[in-house]
Every structure is written in structure tokens, then in C-alpha cells.
């Protein structure tokens, strides 16, 4: 790997960035496990020396869909904004186009965050939705990306586009070059089973792009996340990727088995952590500790200043509950600056 | 003016943002002058109470071409990045297209910051340059905006466009809405005489757009800057705009008369401040004080971490010289975070 790419995509070798996706993991066996133990000892020494600050520095702020509280989600502008606010990881969601491009978008259909209904009024399916898988990248590039929610960025204002995965990576890596920081990416594969049915299987092609940009191996500044856990299992066991993998867990009875001790045991065979709905932490205050006992990181989603659960007096209280009381390893936030502040940086 | 527009474009009436473009100006006579005096007294009291911090809060950070040290200049991404870094004003340079649109670009020709040579190889003039005035906005929107300088953002990486003035304003006002901040714009009219010859006179049309977005009157969060001072005189005296106006002053013998006491006296009749090349402050350490004596603000250009004059040991020293020793009222920086830090915010 050339040195420039290494700088962009891997943990610095001088230890200047102490946020390994693998910190504290003991589930990979052999040499990795020994290394992990040494890391743990080193981390423990750091914590002893610097107290809470060192601990906070170890936790990560994931900019959910970019700084989507401030700018339309999944636009290069929202990612740039999040980067400047101090996020550690930028989160692109990934969906494929008819011609196989990976675009950054939350939904597999286009109408919630673009003006596709105006530009291509007749191109919806029978369910009334405009699927990205029915449009070429060139067609999608003619659309305006727009704010999803009514009380955030003025809907339709200014001018935003739908970016590709490559454009997101080049933005983040370019900023890493100009700032000297080491910000990572945290891509989510959206609905891999749907894409497979459309003839657009995601796993191998996404890994190939990530590898092309230097994201490979366990120290990569890249977490791959997915709600469909067979996808993660395939990535680890069939495609032999060592990238850090995060199993998303919705607050739904269909996923309840995943966070039993048995489920976590199974998950730890191929994943490096869980990304649970934050409600699950409240419903089961043992979840984070149990996941940690299985060697799994915990990155709950999503904290939003403008959608604060009523059980907290302030947004700061919610961050405190998740990061300090529950000791999660990071979190997804629409307002990354709030999370950065909560970590005392 | 509707309340939302007022919030976006004018100083807050509760005094929560103490950076009036008119602070300390005494050259407008009558009621404005009395108000300015009262402001001065209030400001003096604040400074007495809070010392250097209050004073620093009064100075402004102008994000030069956006955060152009980190991202390609004059892109929405560079503006968003600058906004997040804490800039007080975002600087779009303005150039007109064949069909009269105002685009944000430093040069009147396109080839230094776009891929126009590849897309329209034959559309240059006899001097070998591709002029924005020869292209429609639709054509310019097909171009990629790219980094100008070799050692900054990787040239050609990711995907950026050339924005219009309207898109820049809507970005800034949208962010003002989502953040609650009051960030202004600092547009520069580039080469008005050239544009006039091309049948694309700038002044009235630019003012009309600014007014449409609520930027009018002396308290607007908008400075209009220009190297061609007759343009500023026309804006004030013929078009009767009360917007804050800044006369740019190059470090060139042809502009030397402008910063004589006689020249400043003349300037103060229609402008609110000067934007001198920072070299002029070193060559004439009385300049800032003399401009202040004429009731003129001073906003020197441009501080760049990666182009530090050798007379300073550190970039911080350069900011200190301009903002503290020379007591300038703000400055243009390619790295707005450095300026924010220098002001102790």
C-alpha cells in the first residue's frame, strides 16, 4: 500500500490516533488476540494516566448521514460540515443504481430526498416509489438532493447532488490530506437482499471499491454496517474481508434474539460490534456490558437534538447516559458537534 | 421585511451578535452617527468589562473563497466547511455568465479552477482563456470545479460544482436557520469594468439579488467589496444602496494614492472600510490607525497557513500582528479556524 493511501485509511503507526476499531476486541484469536490484549493494557495505562479524558478520546463520533441536522442528509456539503465539526467517522448509506454505481442515500427509493417526482414523473413502480435501481447514475446526477424533514434545512433551498461512494471517500481522504486528521468512513449496505434480487449484489463490489481506496484489514478507518447480518457473515467468511463489521440491531421483536447472550456469542464470530437502536439500551441496561463481555463494540443510533426523548432533561443528559453511564464506544448523531462536546473535546 | 428574512440578514435586535459592520463608523452623519456613538460607548463599556475577549468578539473572520485551504475554493462544500469552522462571513467572488447569472468564482476566466479545457476545448478567446462571459450558466454547471493549487486538496478528486450567488446565499441562510448563528456574506464584484464592456454590468443586478434575499441597509450582514472603487461610489451615490462597502487596495503603486490621508478622506465619503493587501500594513504601520481615524474599517487580505511570510515565526504571530498589534477589524483567511483560534474563541 503506498504511504499516502496508508495515511488516509489506516491507523497512524505513531499512535497519534487512539481510536482503533479493534480496541478491546478479543474475539479474533491468535496473534490478533495477543495484540488486542497488549492494546488493552496500553489503553488501561492511558486511562489510568489521563482519566476520563483519555477514555472519551477513545470513543467515536459518527456523523449520521453527514451532519444531517444542519444540511440535507447524504450530500457532500453535509459530510464536509460534519468533518469540520470534529466527527471521527462520516456515514454514507449505500444504494445501487441500475448501472451498478454505489450512491449515498438512505432509502432504496429516491423520492424522500430528491426531486425525482418532478424530473421523472412516470418512472415509479407499481407501489408508487421511484427506485434507485431503476435509474442510471447519469440520471440520478440530474436530480436535486433535498432536505427530508420539514423543520430542518429549508427544503429545496440552494443546490445539492446525490454523491457516489467514490466521491464521498475522495472528499474525506482529501480533507484528511489538507487537515492532517484521520477521519474514517462508516458505510452502511442498505437492503442487500433487495439488491441481490435486482441483480445488483452489493458485498463483493463494495469491498472492491473500499480496497481500491486503501480500506482493508482490521485497522482500516472504515466500519461496514448492515441490518442484514448474513451480509456481514458473508463479508467475513466467504469474502474473507478483515474490515471492522458492525451488526445493526433494530428495536423490533424480530431482532430480539440477536442481543441475547446466545445471539451475541454467534455475532462475535464474524462481527466486531453492534449498532443498536438507542431505545434498546434503555429497555435493557445490561446490553452494553454484555456486548463488551462478548468482545463487541457498541455504537447506538441515533441522537438528535431536535428529537430528544422526554426522559432526558437535556440533550447533554442523553449523551451522558449513552457514553458515560452505559459506556457505549461511540454513537451516531445528526449533530456531531453535540457529541464532540459531550466527549469534552 | 418578513421576520425570517430579517433573522437571516440583519443584526439581531437583542444584541446577541455584536459585530455590526457599522461599529465605530462615524462617517454617515445624522442619526446614524448618534447611534454609532452610542454603540461605541456601549462597546467601550463591554471592552472595559470583559477585556480582550470582548474586543476579539468584535472582529470578524472572513472565510476567503470559503475554507479554501481545505477544499476547492468557491464551492458549496468549502463554504459549508468554513461555516462549521466558525467564520463570521463567507466570501463569494462574483463573475457573470453569458446569460447574466452571477457565479461564484475568483477569475473572470474558467480554466484555473474548472475542467473547461477538457469539456469545451475550442471555446477560448484569442488570448487562450475561457471566459465565463462566453458560457451560459447551464454550460458552466456541466463543469467540475477543481482545486487551484498543487499542494492543497487533491486536484480533480471528488466532485464539485460552480455555485451561483443565489445558491451560496441559500446555503448560508439555511445554515443560519439550522444553527441559530448569524453568519453573513462578503461578496466581491470582480472586474466590473470588464463586465460592463461585455454588456453585463454588475452593480444594479447584484444589488437586486442581495435585496431579494434581505440584504439591504447599513446593518445587513453583507459587505460588498471591490477593487474598482468607482463601482462602490456608483453603488452608494447612484444606486443609493446603504450596504456596507469595502474598498479593496492592492499593494501596487497605482493604488498608493488611495491610502494617503487625502485618499482615505475621499473613500470615507462612500465606503465603510478598506480591504488592503496585508503587505501594506507592514510597509506602513500607521495605515490601520489612519483608516480608523477616517472612520473606516480595515479587513486585510489574505492570511494562509501554508504561505506564511518569513518575517513571522508562526502563523499565530501573523494573526497577532494584524489583529492585536495593528488592531485590524477582521481579516480574510484561507484557514478560518486559525483566525477563530487567534481571536481566542
Question: pLDDT digits over A266-305, tens only?
Answer: 999 999 999 999 999 999 999 999 999 999 999 999 999 9
**Percent of chain B with pLDDT strictly greater than 90:** 83
Which pLDDT band holds residue B9 (cuts at 50, 70, 90)? Answer: confident
Residue B170 has pLDDT above 70, yes or no: yes
pLDDT above 90 for B343 = yes
What pLDDT does residue B197 have?
A: 98
Give the pLDDT score at A6. 55
Q: Yes or no: say if B162 and B114 are a contact pair by the CB < 8 Å rule.
A: yes
pLDDT at B154 over 60: yes
What 3-state class would DSSP assign to B109? strand
* pLDDT tens digits, A100-132: 999 999 999 999 999 999 999 999 999 999 999
pLDDT, tens digit (0-9, with 9 covering 90-100), for A242-253: 999 999 999 999
**Residue B4: is its pLDDT beyond 60?**
no
CB atoms A81 and B84 under 8 Å: yes
Residue B55 confidence (pLDDT)? 55
Alpha carbons B223 and A59: distance in angstroms, whole number: 42
The radius of gyration computed from the CA coordinates of chain B, to the nearest angstrom, equals 19
Angle at B267 between CA B261 and CA B270, to 5 degrees: 150
Q: Out of B80, B163, B164, name the one closest to residue A71 (CB).
A: B80
Handedness of CA A325, A327, A332, A337 (dihedral sign): positive
Kindly identify which residue of chain B lies nearest to residue A83, measuring between CA atoms: B81
Contact B80 A69 (CB under 8 A): no
CA A270 to chain centre: 17
Residues of A in contact with B337 (CB under 8 A): 84
Residue A71 to residue B178, Cβ atoms within 8 A:
yes
Q: What is the pTM of this model?
A: 0.88
Query: Three-state SS across A246-307?
Result: EEEECCCHHHHHHHCHHHHHHHCCCCCEEEEEHHHHHHCCCHHHHHHHCCCEECCECECHHH
Minimal-distance CA residue of chain A relative to B155: A174
Q: Would you say residue B150 has pLDDT above 50?
A: yes
Is residue B257 flagged as an active site residue?
no
Which residues of A make CB contacts under 8 Å with B? 67, 69-71, 76-78, 80-81, 83-85, 152-154, 157-161, 163-164, 167-168, 170-171, 173-175, 177-179, 337
Helix count and strand count (H, E) for chain A = 15, 11
CA A92/CA B179 separation, integer angstroms: 22
Residue A300 CA to residue A245 CA, distance in Å, equals 14
- Quick check: B213 and B169 in contact, CB under 8 A? yes
User: Which residue, among B154, B298, B95, B62, has the nearest Cα to A176 in the 3D structure?
Assistant: B154
At A30-69, the pLDDT tens digits run: 334 434 444 444 444 433 333 343 356 799 999 999 999 9
What does residue A275 show for φ and ψ, rounded to 5 degrees?
Answer: -120, 85
What is the per-residue DSSP string for A162-193? PPBHHHHHHHHHHHHHHH----EE--EE--HH
Neighbours of B31 (CB within 10 A): 8
Considering chain B, what percentage of its residues have pLDDT values greater than 70?
84
Q: Closest approach of chain A CAs to the CA of B99, in angstroms? A: 19
Instruction: Find the range with the poorest average confidence among A13-17, A329-333, B306-310.
Output: A13-17
Pick among B7, B63, B77 to test the A interface (most A CBs inside 10 A): B77
Over residues B101-129, the mean pLDDT reads 98
Which residue in the set B84, B153, B177 is minimally distant from A174, CB to CB? B153
pLDDT at B21 over 50: no
Give CA–CA dist A225/A253, Å, rounded.
20
Mean pLDDT, rounded, of chain A: 89
Judge residue B231's burial from the number of C-beta atoms within 10 Å of its C-beta, 0-12 exposed, 13-18 middle, 19 or more buried: buried
Rounded to whole angstroms, how far apart are CA atoms B332 and B330? 7
Please count the residue pairs, one from chain A and one from chain B, whose beta carbons lie less than 8 angstroms apart: 100
Are the CB atoms for B153 and B72 separated by under 8 Å?
A: yes
Are A162 and A141 in contact by the 8 Å Cβ rule? The answer is yes
Cβ-based contacts of B81 with chain A (< 8 Å): 80-81, 83-84
Write down the pLDDT at residue A12: 57
pLDDT for res B12: 57
Q: Which residues pair with A301 in a beta bridge?
A: A277
Active-site annotation holder among B64, B74, B294, B299: B64
User: Is B106 annotated in the active site?
Assistant: yes
| Alpha-helix residue ranges (DSSP H) falling in chain B | 3-9, 30-50, 52-58, 76-85, 116-119, 137-140, 165-179, 192-197, 203-212, 229-233, 261-267, 278-283, 287-293, 315-319, 336-342
pLDDT at B2 over 70: no
Q: Mean pLDDT check: name the lowest of B15-24, B225-234, B282-291, B316-325.
A: B15-24
> How large is the average pLDDT for residues A249-269?
98
- Set B74, B106, B294, B299: catalytic member: B106
| Measured torsion, CA atoms of residues B283, B288, B290, B293, in degrees rounded to the nearest 10 | 180
Please say if the pLDDT value at position A23 is more than 60.
no
| 8 Å CB contact of B157 and A163 | no
d(CA A243, CA A9): 11
Interface test with B, best of A7, A178, A180, A340 (most B CBs within 10 A): A178
Tell me the average pLDDT of chain B.
89
The arithmetic mean of pLDDT across residues A222-229, rounded, is 98
CB contact under 8 A, A175 and B70: yes
B154·A170 Cβ contact <8 A: yes
pLDDT per position as a tens digit, B172-187: 999 999 999 999 999 9
Distances (CA, A) of A300 to A188, A276, A287, A289, B52: 14, 5, 11, 13, 42
How far apart are the C-alpha atoms of B243 and B184, rounded to whole Å?
A: 12
Is residue B10 within 8 Å of B222, Cβ to Cβ? no
Q: Do A174 and B71 touch (CB under 8 A)?
A: yes
- In chain B, DSSP finds a helix count (H) and a strand count (E) of 15, 11
Whether residue B1 is predicted with pLDDT greater than 90 in this model: the reply is: no
If interface means Cβ-Cβ distance under 8 Å, which residues of chain B face chain A? 67, 69-71, 76-78, 80-81, 83-85, 152-154, 157-161, 163-164, 167-168, 170-171, 173-175, 177-179, 337
Helix (H) or strand (E) holding B235: none
B254 CB-near residues (< 8 Å, 6+ apart): none
CB contact under 8 A, A170 and B178: no
Q: Please give the helix or strand (H or E) that residue B161 lies within, else none.
A: none
Neighboring chain A residues of B152 at a CB cutoff of 8 Å: 178
Close Cβ partners of B294 (under 8 Å, ≥ 6 residues apart): B27, B261, B264, B265, B267, B268
- Confidence at residue A22, expressed as pLDDT on a 0 to 100 scale: 35
Strand partners, B220: B10
Supply angle C-alpha A77, A221, A268, rounded to 5. Answer: 120
pLDDT-derived band at A21 (thresholds 50, 70, 90) equals: very low
Helix, strand, or coil (residue B230)? helix
- Residues B181, B162: contact at Cβ < 8 Å? no
Tell me the C-alpha distance between A67 and A83, whole Å.
Answer: 8
- Give me the pLDDT at residue A48, please: 37
Residue of A nearest to B169 (CA): A158
Backbone angles phi, psi at A24, to 5 degrees: 85, 0
Residue of A nearest to B81 (CA): A81
Residue A48, judged by CB atoms within 10 A of its CB (0-12, 13-18, 19+), counts as exposed
- pLDDT tens for residues B217-248? 999 999 999 999 999 999 999 999 999 999 99
Mutate to test the interface with B, among A2, A80, A156, A157 (most CBs of B within 10 A): A80
Shortest CA distance from A152: residue in chain B: B178
Strands A273-276 and A245-249: parallel
> Looking at the predicted structure, is the pLDDT value of residue B31 above 70?
no
Average of pLDDT values for A172-184? 98
Contact status, residue A242 vs residue A210, Cβ threshold 8 Å = no
Amino acid at each position: 500500500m503506498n504511504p499516502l493511501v496508508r495515511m488516509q485509511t489506516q491507523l497512524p503507526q505513531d499512535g497519534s490516533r487512539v481510536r482503533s476499531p479493534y480496541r478491546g476486541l478479543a474475539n479474533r484469536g491468535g496473534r490478533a488476540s495477543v495484540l488486542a490484549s497488549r492494546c488493552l493494557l496500553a489503553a488501561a495505562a492511558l486511562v489510568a494516566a489521563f482519566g476520563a479524558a483519555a477514555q472519551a478520546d477513545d470513543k467515536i463520533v459518527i456523523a449520521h448521514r453527514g451532519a444531517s441536522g444542519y444540511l440535507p442528509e447524504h450530500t457532500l456539503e453535509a459530510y464536509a460540515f460534519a468533518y469540520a465539526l470534529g466527527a471521527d467517522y462520516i456515514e454514507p448509506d449505500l444504494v445501487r443504481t441500475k448501472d451498478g454505481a454505489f450512491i449515498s442515500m438512505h432509502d432504496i427509493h429516491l423520492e424522500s430526498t430528491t426531486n425525482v417526482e418532478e424530473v421523472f414523473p412516470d418512472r415509479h413502480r407499481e407501489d408508487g416509489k421511484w427506485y434507485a435501481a431503476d435509474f442510471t447514475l447519469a440520471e440520478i446526477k440530474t436530480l436535486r438532493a433535498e432536505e427530508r424533514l420539514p423543520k430542518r434545512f429549508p427544503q429545496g433551498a440552494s443546490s445539492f447532488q446525490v454523491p457516489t461512494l467514490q466521491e464521498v471517500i475522495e472528499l474525506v481522504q482529501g480533507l484528511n490530506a489538507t487537515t492532517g486528521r484521520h477521519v474514517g468512513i462508516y458505510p452502511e449496505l442498505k437492503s442487500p437482499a433487495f439488491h441481490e434480487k435486482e441483480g445488483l449484489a452489493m458485498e463483493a463490489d463494495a469491498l472492491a471499491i473500499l480496497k481500491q481506496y486503501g480500506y482493508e484489514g482490521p485497522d482500516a478507518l472504515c466500519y461496514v454496517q448492515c441490518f442484514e447480518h448474513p451480509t456481514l457473515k458473508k463479508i467475513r467468511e466467504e469474502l474473507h474481508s478483515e474490515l471492522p463489521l458492525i451488526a445493526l440491531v433494530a428495536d423490533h421483536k424480530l431482532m430480539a434474539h440477536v442481543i441475547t447472550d446466545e445471539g451475541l456469542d454467534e455475532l462475535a464470530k464474524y462481527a466486531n460490534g453492534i449498532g443498536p437502536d438507542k431505545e434498546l439500551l434503555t429497555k435493557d441496561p445490561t446490553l452494553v456490558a454484555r456486548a463488551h463481555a462478548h468482545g463487541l463494540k457498541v455504537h447506538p443510533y441515533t441522537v438528535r437534538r431536535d428529537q430528544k426523548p422526554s426522559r432526558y432533561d437535556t440533550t447533554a443528559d442523553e449523551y451522558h447516559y449513552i457514553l458515560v453511564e452505559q459506556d457505549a464506544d461511540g454513537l451516531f448523531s445528526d449533530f456531531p458537534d453535540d457529541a464532540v462536546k459531550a466527549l469534552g473535546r
